[in-house]
Amino acid sequence: MTASAIDLRSPRAWGATIAFIVVVCVVGGVIGVNTLPDAWYEALHKAPWNPPNWVFGPVWFTLYVLIGIAGARTFLRAPGSGAMVLWVLQMVLNWAWSPIWFRLHQPWPAFAIIAVILLLILGFIAASWREDRTAAWLFVPYALWVAFASSLNLAIAVLN
């Protein structure tokens, strides 16, 4: 089934889209609230391009909505596809990164994870490009942000 075969007005499409957005945002929000920056993070030497902490919440909320929409579109089009597997893998690692960084205080393992997340995001974009360009484009801001976040992670790992 191609992207054009998805009836985006159907109750199934609306339900899947809402469910994906809610799950991604709620799980990400719960993890975020439970892994807020602490004294360890505040004491770290950071890159000069590190944004203030308040930027991260709105950016991640926006990205989680886009990720949820892309996931729903992929699920509706091809639930067992390689793109869907990539979507699930990047999401699991996305949710794992914050506890490894903020709770376990492990910059290098967190960097390894975020590097794999970026590869999975790029893989999702490539895998989705032919069948659902909208889903692929929805991941472009996510790829850019994760590339930027990877530079922040790497800078902190190197500087500390």
pLDDT confidence bin for 5, thresholds 50/70/90: low
pLDDT tens per residue, range 11-29: 899 999 999 999 999 999 9
At 3 the pLDDT is 46
Structure tokens at 134: 């909208």
> Domains along the chain?
3-159 (1.20.1260)
Question: In the predicted model, is pLDDT for residue 57 greater than 50?
Answer: yes
Q: Please compute the mean of the pLDDT values over residues 52-78 and round it to a whole number.
A: 97
